[in-house]
Structure 1
Amino acid sequence: MEEAHKQLIKSFFKPISFDAGTEVSFFEMWEEKNFKQNELITEAGSLEKYFYIVVSGVQAIYLLNQKGEKVVLGFSYSESPSGVFDSFIYQKPADTFLEALKPSKLLALSLKNYQSLLDQQVDFYKWGYQFFQDILFGRLFREVELLTLSAEERYIAFMRRCPDELKVIPQKYLASYLNMKPETFSRLRASVKY
């Protein structure tokens, strides 16, 4: 494994302390996965096999509405986690799709190795608790924004906090994520300074 990948994993799991021997076996649990632009990583109805950390690229997690349109729930990008977490943890068929919007390189941890870490490392269990708590509160914060902010306010808030990687993905994905029509997003992009 490349040294840069090791550093990325270590920074992601910062609260966990490994001794030298355990650290070596921890890194051996990870494998690199590469996906082409627009390639499905996880398809609705299938089981999520991996917990990912993004090395490069951008992915969108979405579901299809009754009209067959993509409803974007979130994004993952460099140095962030990725995957369909509920399918991964509960090993139930995914309700959502995970798609590479840009060519993507991901580091993948299998469920077997994930569970092994939970069993062997108290620190990993604590990390998992905090990680999923952060995911839950992030979702709650997003729902409050969707319900209480105007389209312009949602646009400004998102553009201020999102990394540059997300600003270059197709507008239709960003518009869907912000619960607005692509024309509205395009108009806001042209007229609103953030």
Structure 2
Amino acid sequence: MLAEIIKSIRKFTDLSEQEISEFTEISKIENFDPKSHFIRAGQIPVKFGIVVTGLFRYVYISQEGKEFTKVFMPEGSFISSYSAMISKTTSHFFIEALEESEVLIISYNNWQKLKAQNPRWNLLLVKLLEKGYSVKEKREREFLLLDAESRYRIFLEEYPDLEKRVKQHMIASYLGITPIALSRIRKNMGA
């Protein structure tokens, strides 16, 4: 379990065993049941995490109750409502567990102390923010330039096993279409 977390961190920057140890010492493991929330909309976030096992999604819910899935976050993903956390404002979205999940959590205050003691942690932060920005930019481009079937094909390529783990209405909300439209696309593709 810890080895997988270290592997996730080292995808972004090569930290020493001592530095990894400092990180894990100020972290804790927390379990989440399906449909529970890591962060709720309207809450001021004070933590971020790394998904050890399980699956989460970032989801906006309109006043009418309509869901808009922003992203799916499987094992090895860093999860947070980071902009709300750093500005000490409320999150606009939920981070919902879709399966039994285990997350390594670090408080924002502990993270700030860690970065102040060792500037190499800022490199990890920059790498994570760059990755997040790149994903956001790519997703926006797909929504602006591609049709729903093309977006679905990209979803299948990027998340090859996720379709078996996620309900169809959640995939539809991720693609920006209705479940009926997704059914038609799947039928046309022979899925």
Name the SS for the 1:75 alignment partner. strand
User: In the alignment, what sits opposite 1:13?
Assistant: 9
In structure 2, the CA distance between the partners of 1:143 and 1:167, relative to structure 1 (3 Å rule), is farther
Q: TM-score, normalised by structure 1?
A: 0.89
Query: What is the alpha-carbon distance in structure 2 between the residues aligned to residue 24 and residue 73 of structure 1?
Result: 32
Query: What is the alpha-carbon distance in structure 1 between the residues aligned to residue 189 and residue 65 of structure 2?
Result: 30
User: In the alignment, what sits opposite 1:119?
Assistant: 116
Name the SS for the 1:44 alignment partner. coil
Query: What is the alpha-carbon distance in structure 1 between the residues aligned to residue 163 and residue 50 of structure 2?
Result: 17
Q: C-alpha offsets along residues 96-115 of structure 1, whole Å, 9 cap, x if unaligned?
A: 11111111111101111111
Question: CA shift at 1:11, angstroms?
Answer: 1.6
Name the SS for the 1:141 alignment partner. helix
User: In the alignment, what sits opposite 1:86?
Assistant: 83
Question: CA shift at 1:87, angstroms?
Answer: 2.0
User: In the alignment, what sits opposite 2:93?
Assistant: 96
Q: Is the 8 A contact 1:16 1:124 kept in 2?
A: no
Q: Is the 8 A contact 1:60 1:76 kept in 2?
A: yes
Where does 1:1-194 land on structure 2 (aligned, <5 Å)? Answer: 4-5=1-2, 7-14=3-10, 15-18=13-16, 20=18, 22-192=19-189
* Percent of residue pairs identical: 26
In structure 2, the CA distance between the partners of 1:8 and 1:88, relative to structure 1 (3 Å rule), is farther
Question: CA shift at 1:76, angstroms?
Answer: 0.7
Instruction: Report how many residues are paired.
Output: 189
Amino acid paired to 2:175: L
Q: TM-score, normalised by structure 2?
A: 0.91
Query: What is the alpha-carbon distance in structure 1 between the residues aligned to residue 186 and residue 45 of structure 2?
Result: 35
Query: What is the alpha-carbon distance in structure 2 between the residues aligned to residue 66 and residue 8 of structure 1?
Result: 38
Name the SS for the 2:131 alignment partner. helix
Q: Unaligned regions of 5+ residues in structure 2, if any?
A: none
Question: CA shift at 1:120, angstroms?
Answer: 1.6
Q: C-alpha offsets along residues 6-44 of structure 1, whole Å, 9 cap, x if unaligned?
A: x22322222242353x44332211111111111122111
Query: What is the alpha-carbon distance in structure 1 between the residues aligned to residue 111 and residue 69 of structure 2?
Result: 27
Query: What is the alpha-carbon distance in structure 2 between the residues aligned to residue 16 and residue 160 of structure 1?
Result: 28
> Pairwise CA RMSD of aligned residues?
1.8
